[in-house]
């Protein structure tokens, strides 16, 4: 099993400085944390032979002890159980290591663990991606602001748990709205109005899927100028409290916020 493809974790470039002979494989048993673990060594990869969560955590703990200042990207996917994801994340955060990205794609219903997992993500620096099942009554309030610059919530049945007001420190948000969304055109209008009047660094925002007919209600009163249209896009120009100029637009079932420059580049690509 390739360690870099384990469902439990991804450790980017951790082994790049290990000096193994090119295309030569060696195998052996090693005592790690009092447990016997069978490993194979390739040119730039360590392969773990056992599939148990305990063995994976032991090996990850050993690697982190050796490389005490790595930049880490983490990916949790089926069939990893949520409780194991929490254990690994706590292992990372207790060492106060730099977590660059976090990708969670586990469909096992686990609302009791999701809050703990999200709490462990507040220090992630670059991106947080969530693809999981949430019950309609699930609510999440972060204990502290998220540091990540990008937030992706995709292909979830319900996104009612996500209060965007708690994630306004992000520069980029992509949100796939579930069929049972409790968000209305009026609530979107309020969110956008608050964003315009704030100093939030959010500058790239897209949410799917919105009824096209709701766009007029969503942007109602947000601009003194009329709605512009070109091709499949329609939009309004807005100026925020800090003087920066943006576009709030629609393309198909997607509502987006972009800088004027990013929007202009989008229109040029559409015409090519």
pLDDT in tens, the chain (272 residues): 333 333 333 333 333 333 434 444 677 787 777 788 877 777 666 676 666 777 777 777 777 777 766 678 888 887 777 888 888 888 888 888 888 999 988 776 666 788 888 898 999 999 999 887 777 777 888 998 899 999 998 755 566 778 888 888 899 999 887 666 778 889 899 999 999 999 999 999 998 877 888 899 999 999 888 899 988 889 999 999 889 999 999 998 889 999 999 999 988 888 87
- Domain boundary (19, 39, 68) is at 68
| Same-domain status, 93 and 153 | yes
The residues, ordered by sequence, that sit 6+ positions from 30 with a Cβ below 8 Å of its Cβ are 36, 37, 38, 39
Please answer whether residues 102 and 122 qualify as being in contact, where contact means their C-beta atoms are separated by less than 8 angstroms.
no
The per-type count for the chain, helices as H runs and strands as E runs, is: 6, 13
Q: Are residues 60 and 84 in the same domain?
A: no
- Residue 72 DSSP symbol: E
What is the pLDDT, as a whole number, of residue 39? Answer: 77
Please tell me whether residues 62 and 89 are part of one structural domain: no
Residues 86, 44 share a domain: no
Domain boundary among 46, 68, 90: 68
Beta bridge partners, 206, equal 174, 256
| Residues 18, 45 share a domain | yes
Total domains in the fold of the chain: 2
Give CA–CA dist 116/114, Å, rounded. 5
The pTM of the full predicted model, rounded to 2 decimals, is 0.77
Nearest-10 crossing angle of helices 82-94, 53-66: 10
Same domain for 22 and 90: no
Residue among 65, 112, 55 nearest 86 (CA): 112
One domain, residues 78 and 61: no
Q: Which residues neighbour 138 within 8 Å (Cβ) at sequence distance 6 or greater?
A: 111, 114, 158, 160, 161
Q: Do 132 and 30 sit in the same domain of this protein?
A: no
210/96 same-domain check: yes
pLDDT of residue 24: 47
Residue 215 shares a structural domain with residue 83: yes
DSSP classification of residue 2: B
Claim to verify: residue 34 and residue 102 sit in the same structural domain:
no
Look at residues 182, 174, 138, 132 and name the one whose alpha carbon lies nearest to residue 157. 132
Domain extent for 105:
74-271
> What confidence score (pLDDT) does residue 6 get?
37
Show which of 45, 68, 91 is a domain's final residue.
68
> Are both 252 and 168 inside the same structural domain?
yes
* Phi, psi at 89, each rounded to 5°: -65, -40
Helix axes 82-94, 111-119, angle to 10 degrees: 20
How many CB atoms within 10 Å of residue 137?
9
pLDDT at 15: 37
């Amino acid at each position: 099993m390739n360690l870099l493809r384990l469902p439990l974790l991804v450790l980017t470039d951790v082994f790049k400085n290990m000096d193994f002979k090119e295309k030569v494989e060696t195998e052996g048993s090693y005592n790690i944390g009092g447990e016997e673990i069978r490993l194979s060594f390739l040119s730039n990869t360590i392969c773990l032979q056992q599939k148990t969560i305990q063995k994976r955590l032991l090996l990850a703990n050993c690697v982190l002890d050796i490389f005490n200042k790595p930049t880490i990207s983490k990916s949790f996917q089926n069939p990893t159980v949520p409780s194991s994801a929490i254990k690994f994340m706590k292992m990372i955060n207790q060492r106060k290591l730099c977590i660059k990205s976090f990708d969670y794609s586990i469909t096992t219903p686990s609302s009791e663990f999701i809050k703990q997992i999200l709490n462990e993500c507040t220090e992630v620096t670059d991106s947080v991606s969530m693809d999981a099942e949430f019950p309609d009554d699930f609510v999440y309030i972060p204990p502290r602001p998220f540091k990540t610059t990008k937030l992706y919530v995709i292909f979830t049945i319900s996104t009612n748990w996500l209060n965007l007001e708690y994630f306004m420190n992000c520069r980029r948000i992509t949100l796939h709205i579930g069929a049972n969304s409790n968000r209305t055109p009026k609530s979107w209008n309020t969110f956008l109005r608050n964003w315009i009047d704030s100093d939030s660094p959010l500058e790239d925002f897209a949410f799917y899927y919105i009824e096209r007919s709701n766009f007029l209600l969503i942007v109602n009163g947000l601009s003194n100028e009329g709605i512009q249209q070109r091709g499949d896009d329609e939009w309004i120009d807005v100026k925020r409290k800090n003087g920066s100029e943006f576009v709030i637009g629609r393309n198909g079932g997607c509502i987006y916020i972009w800088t004027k420059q990013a929007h202009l580049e989008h229109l040029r690509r559409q015409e090519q």
